[in-house]
């Protein structure tokens, strides 16, 4: 029985191809990008974090100063004497919390910090996702 050999393939484009370079040049692929300070959206405006943090601190200091000034008003002093914030039927707890409960609260706070950080990072990176 005679074997049938397939005809040799002839690709006219193959002669014009050159061997490829097996390196990726990032300068040709992506332009270099500088770091961007994160921005947080408040309502319709985007606020730079470098401005938001000092402004929040200044507002906090002003709020504390206003609260201290309000405590000097006689009507507020009378209100604080009349309503001290502790009910008369309240029993003082002197035993504290067990160690396992303190550890649970610490771990909860620790992991929530990561969740909050991830949320802020998503908010800050949102415009760059498109």
Residue 125 lies in a domain: no
Residue 55 lies in a domain: yes
Q: Of 11, 23, 39, 31, whose CA–CA distance to 127 is shortest?
A: 39
Residue 69 lies in a domain: yes
Residue 14 lies in a domain: no
Residue 22 lies in a domain: no
Domain that holds residue 71: 43-85
Residue 95 lies in a domain: no
Residue 119 lies in a domain: no
Q: Which residue is listed with tokens 């005809």?
A: 7
Residue 65 lies in a domain: yes
Q: What is the pLDDT along the chain (130 residues), one digit of tens a residue?
A: 566 666 666 777 877 777 777 777 766 666 666 677 788 888 888 888 888 788 899 999 999 999 999 999 999 999 999 988 887 787 777 778 888 999 999 999 999 999 999 988 887 776 655 5
SS3 string, 9-74, reads CCCCCHHHCCCCCCCCCHHHHCCCCCCCCCEEEECCEEEEHHHHHHHHHHHHHHHHHHHHHHCCCH
pTM of the predicted model, to two decimals? 0.41
Number of domains in the chain: 1
């Amino acid at each position: 029985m005679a074997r049938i050999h397939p005809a040799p393939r002839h690709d006219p484009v193959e002669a014009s191809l050159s061997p490829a370079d097996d390196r990726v040049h990032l300068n040709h692929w992506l332009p270099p990008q500088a770091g961007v300070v994160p921005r947080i959206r408040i309502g319709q405006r985007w606020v730079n974090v470098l401005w938001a943090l000092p402004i929040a601190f200044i507002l906090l200091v002003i709020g504390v100063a206003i609260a201290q000034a309000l405590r000097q008003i006689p009507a507020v002093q009378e209100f604080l004497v009349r309503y001290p914030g502790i009910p008369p039927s309240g029993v003082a707890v002197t035993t504290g919390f067990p160690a396992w409960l303190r550890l649970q609260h610490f771990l909860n706070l620790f992991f929530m910090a990561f969740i909050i950080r991830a949320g802020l990072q998503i908010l800050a990176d949102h415009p760059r996702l498109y």
